[in-house]
Amino acid sequence: ELKDALLSLISNLDLSLLEGNKMIEVKNSDVSKGRAAARWLDGGQWDFVLAVGDDWTDEDIFSMLSEEHFSIKVGVDISSANYFLESPDKVRGLVQELAALS
């Protein structure tokens, strides 16, 4: 019901509605996570880039990253991410291991 109500409210605006994992996002149609990440990445030299996400809305980021970057899909859905982890607990473990390397 919420999705239908929002769609009727934004139908004449330059907005889009994204339905994801336990979320509904209303955003400017010209804005995406991938475009934001590309702009951020273009702004500097980065030694290490890691993108992690559990939702289809994260695919924008995964698909724009180059082979030298690391992308991880949390869960077992089809994704353009380079790697997969089973759960948020596994992601926390990975981040802890990476932090220990620094």
> Tell me: the pLDDT tens digits for 81-91?
999 999 999 99
Q: Which parts of the chain fold into alpha helices (H)?
A: 2-10, 33-42, 59-64, 88-101
Backbone angles phi and psi of 80, in degrees to 5? -95, 10
> Tell me: the pLDDT tens digits for 56-87?
889 999 999 988 999 999 998 899 999 999 99
Q: CA 45 to CA 95: how far, in whole Å?
A: 21
Q: CA 32 to CA 38: how far, in whole Å?
A: 10
